[in-house]
């Protein structure tokens, strides 16, 4: 059985600086927009829908099995779950109990099931269209952004294409008439049975499952999942019914065969990019749960 990894203070400080710089590139513009009272229909999602606060995203943590050496490491003792040992400061394995164990068990079950399935690349991002289907323009979710095809044109696209959304946290925002058009019935109770690795939102949610394990997850893994979510969010909204040209985003016109083909190619690329991150999270959960049993 291998022992903990001991990081000298210059080592862990270098990792900490690199992580802070990496995340500040995303956090600083968000904070500047918020200070000006500006909303961003694409990027705000990463900080509003997901509950991990910017301050936590920027904060570096080593994850389990790592000892931080040197006098500077004692500041980690101000955070929950850290303890001091003869070699330095580390996460206390005894703190991985109760709700943390239950979270890791659910994340492992969900991600294992998702990874076992083949990607399905035929939804074409219609979930965003279903969220405004049948709604007056003034009542859509991003009312400050016009619909590319107008309300009637948007509704015609929804009516012409099959909606096959299996991600409950997208489906729950569908308008009532759009829910009736969905060929699947995802629910919180059957989430493990429905999620599949081609789904943009399932892949964005790797960020959520990573930060749900905080502090028992390395900051670098959280950051990798966050950046994947940020890139996927861009495709998600480019393929939406909104006209985002004013924000510098070109449309993926899923109302056309060419646009649907473009979307499927990008969706497949994200599925391939997400697979190793999902595998890392699965292995991390197994390690955490194995050490607890």
CA 97 → CA 81, 86, 215, 280, distances in Å?
Answer: 11, 24, 13, 21
CA 253 → CA 94, 106, 126, 238, distances in Å?
Answer: 52, 36, 11, 8
pLDDT at position 140 is 54
| 109, two tokens | 């079950």
Residue 143 has pLDDT above 70, yes or no: no
Q: What is the mean pLDDT of residues 142-169?
A: 92
Contact 96, 63 (CB under 8 A): no
Q: How far apart are CA 97 and CA 259, in angstroms?
A: 48
Edge to edge, the sheet with strand 89-91 lists: 5-7, 66-68, 89-91, 82-84
pLDDT at position 144 is 79
Q: What is the mean pLDDT of residues 120-138?
A: 87
pLDDT at position 206 is 98
pLDDT at position 110 is 98
**pLDDT tens profile 80-124:** 999 999 999 999 999 999 999 999 999 999 999 999 999 999 999
Q: Could you give the residue ranges of the DSSP H alpha helices within 59-186?
A: 99-115, 126-130, 150-160, 168-171, 176-181
Q: What is the mean pLDDT of residues 259-270?
A: 97
Residue 291 has pLDDT above 80, yes or no: no
pLDDT at position 64 is 96
pTM across the whole model: 0.94
- What length does the chain have? 293
What is the torsional sign of CA 165, 169, 173, 179? Answer: positive
**pLDDT tens profile 216-242:** 999 999 999 999 999 999 999 999 999
| Domain range list for the chain | 5-292
pLDDT at position 1 is 46
Q: How far apart are CA 219 and CA 115, in angstroms?
A: 23
Q: Where residue 207 falls among pLDDT bands split at 50, 70, 90?
A: very high
| 44, two tokens | 């705000």
**pLDDT tens profile 42-83:** 999 999 999 899 999 999 999 999 999 999 999 999 999 999
Q: What is the mean pLDDT of residues 250-276?
A: 98
What DSSP state is assigned to residue 242? B
Q: How far apart are CA 14 and CA 161, in angstroms?
A: 51
Q: Among residues 77, 21, 18, which one has the least CA distance to residue 215?
A: 77
Residue 2 has pLDDT above 90, yes or no: no
Q: How far apart are CA 154 and CA 139, in angstroms?
A: 14
pLDDT at position 185 is 92
CA 108 → CA 4, 13, 95, 157, 284, distances in Å?
Answer: 23, 31, 19, 37, 9
Q: How far apart are the first and last CA of the chain?
A: 15
Q: What is the mean pLDDT of residues 138-167?
A: 87
What is the torsional sign of CA 275, 58, 70, 84? Answer: negative
């Amino acid at each position: 059985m291998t022992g903990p990894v001991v990081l000298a203070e210059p080592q862990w400080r270098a990792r900490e600086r690199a992580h802070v710089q990496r995340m500040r590139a995303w956090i600083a513009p968000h904070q500047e927009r918020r200070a000006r009272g500006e909303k961003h229909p694409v990027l705000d999602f990463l900080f509003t829908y997901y509950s991990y606060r910017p301050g936590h995203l920027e904060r570096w943590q080593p994850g389990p099995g790592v000892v931080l050496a040197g006098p500077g490491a004692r500041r980690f003792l101000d955070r929950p779950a850290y303890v001091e040992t003869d070699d330095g400061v580390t996460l206390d394995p005894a703190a991985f109990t109760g709700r943390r164990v239950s979270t890791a068990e659910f994340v492992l079950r969900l991600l294992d099931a998702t990874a076992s399935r083949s990607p399905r690349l035929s939804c074409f991002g219609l979930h965003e269209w279903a969220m405004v289907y049948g709604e007056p323009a003034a009542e859509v979710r991003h009312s400050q952004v016009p619909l590319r095809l107008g309300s009637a044109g948007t509704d015609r696209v929804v009516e012409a294409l099959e909606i096959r959304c299996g991600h409950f946290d997208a489906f729950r925002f569908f308008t009532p008439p759009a829910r009736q058009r969905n060929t699947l019935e995802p629910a919180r109770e059957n989430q493990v049975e429905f999620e599949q690795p081609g789904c943009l939102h399932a892949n964005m949610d790797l960020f959520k499952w990573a930060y749900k394990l905080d502090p028992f997850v390395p900051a670098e893994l959280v950051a990798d999942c966050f950046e994947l979510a940020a890139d996927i969010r861009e495709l998600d909204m480019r393929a939406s019914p909104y006209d985002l040209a004013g924000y510098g985003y070109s449309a993926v016109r899923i109302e056309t065969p060419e646009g649907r083909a473009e979307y499927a190619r990008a969706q497949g690329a994200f599925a391939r990019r997400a697979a190793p991150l999902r595998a890392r999270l699965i292995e991390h959960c197994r390690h955490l749960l194995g050490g607890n049993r």
